[in-house]
Amino acid sequence: MQGVGFRWFVLQAARRYGLDGDVANLPDGRVEVRARGADEQLDELHAALTGGPPGSQVDAVDAFALDEEQDFHGFEIRY
C-alpha cells in the first residue's frame, strides 16, 4: 500500500532492528522491502510490516531469500 507513509515506517523499523537494505514503491501499488540481517531481527521486521503503521491496510507480506550478490550499507528508501 502506498500513500500512508509506509516507506518511512519501514525505514524506521528496519533501522531500529539494525537491518541493512531498502524499501521502494512499485508501479503496481505494492511496496518492495529488501532486508538483510539476523533471523531474529528479520522476524521482528516481518511482524512490524504485517501490522503496518496506523492508517494502513496490509493485505499480505511475502518473504523471499535475497540474492547473495546484494550489497547493502545501512537501510534507505529507494526512489
Q: Which residue has the cell 501490522?
A: 51
Name the catalytic one among 15, 16, 25, 36: 25
Q: Is 7 marked active-site?
A: yes
Provide CB contacts within 8 A for 78, sequence distance 6+.
Answer: 22, 23, 24
Helix (DSSP H) and strand (DSSP E) numbers for the chain = 2, 3
Catalytic residue, candidates 7, 30, 36, 78:
7
78 annotated active-site: no
Active site members: 7, 25
